[in-house]
Amino acid sequence: MVIDEQKMKSLSAKLVQDEVRGRSPWADARKRFLNNKGAMLGLIILILVSVFALVGGQFAVWSNEELDFSVMGQVAQMGQPSFENGHYFGTDNLGRDLFARVVQGTQVSLMVGVVGAGIAVIVGTLYGATAGYVGGRTDQIMMRTVDILMSIPYMFVLILLLVMFGRSMSMLFLGIGLISWLDMSRIVRGQTLSLKNREFIEAARATGVPAWKIIIRHIVPNLLGVVAVYATLLVPLMILTESFISFLGLGVQEPLTSWGALISEGAGTMNYGTLWQLAFPLFFFVITLFGFFFVGDGLRDALDPKER
């Protein structure tokens, strides 16, 4: 009888724990995200594209810089996609394997998107949280600075930075990241204003916790949901920006390549019937953007307080 009572107590405790765990906001958000078919489709797409970028080069017969002299000057006839000669996606006008170049372009474009979005998220979150928490004249000065910067054409500033300081990968990362944090700062600042008078913030302030610790330990962690949603939507924006810059010839330079550079090269040879040079990089570009947008929409719906 004693054993039965102990089993019943342990079972009751487990049921209580499961119920409490089920009421967790993060658990509810995860469940809604996993039940979102669009979000799961986007997540699968991003996983497949990431796997292609990481291990795709292992399946390439040719390197991205190696020239196949047998197809040079005869791209329309001999540079077509073929498994016999190892050019799965065909070749470009110089006889370079397009499969290997698409793999490298995927790596570069994803890196630019993730790193650029990471810089924008870090700078924008800290800037907006500081402005919203400190308030007063400091908040006014900081946000008027943001308004002034937002009035300057985004693409003009990026092109100017690349022309003045060189068209290197590091400058591309830095330029895209440092001019895309403005919207993030305004979003975070608005969320911070609604958090700064909450009870746990008042308790931390009453115990003498410094303002910078309150921002880092209490404000920022409670903004992770909003930041995560915006970050997933910011990555495709970074990829689009890099692709446009590379399309203009101001992005990554040879021997490196990206989706934008490959699409530019493919668009320039469409009149010669080499549609594969445009189709393959454009395919990866489009499905990746759709993947990020689907995941971003799924996170937004999962973290929406109205859905809880």
Average pLDDT, stretch 231-244?
A: 83
Tell me the C-alpha distance between 125 and 190, whole Å.
Answer: 11
pLDDT at 3: 46
Pinpoint the alpha helices (H) of 135-249.
136-150, 154-165, 169-178, 182-195, 199-206, 211-214, 224-247
* Confidence at residue 72, expressed as pLDDT on a 0 to 100 scale: 60
Q: Does domain 97-308 have CATH number 1.10.1300.10?
A: no
* Domain residue spans of the chain: 97-308
Average pLDDT over residues 222-250: 81
Decide if pLDDT at 16 tops 60.
no
User: How crowded is the C-beta side of 248, counted as CA atoms within 13 Å?
Assistant: 14
Please give the Cα distance from 130 to 196 (Å, whole number). Answer: 11
* Per-residue pLDDT tens digits for 69-127: 776 655 445 577 777 777 788 888 777 888 989 999 999 889 888 888 888 889 899 99
Lowest mean pLDDT: which of 61-75, 172-186, 225-239, 250-264? 61-75
Q: Is the pLDDT reported for residue 12 higher than 60? A: no
**CA angle 129-133-136, nearest 5°?**
120
Q: Residue 10 pLDDT > 70, yes or no? A: no
Count Cβ atoms below 10 Å from residue 198 Cβ, excluding itself.
Answer: 13
Name the average pLDDT for the chain: 80
Beta bridge partners of 97: 91
Sorting pLDDT into bands at 50, 70 and 90, what band is 44? Answer: very high
The residue-averaged pLDDT of 31-36 equals 83
* Mean pLDDT of the region 227-237: 84
Q: Answer for the pair 133, 197: CB distance below 8 angstroms, yes or no.
A: no
241-269 pLDDT per residue, tens: 887 887 777 777 777 788 888 888 888 77
Confirm if 259 and 277 have CB atoms less than 8 A apart: no
In 3D space, the residue among 241, 249, 278 whose CA is nearest the CA of residue 101 turns out to be 278
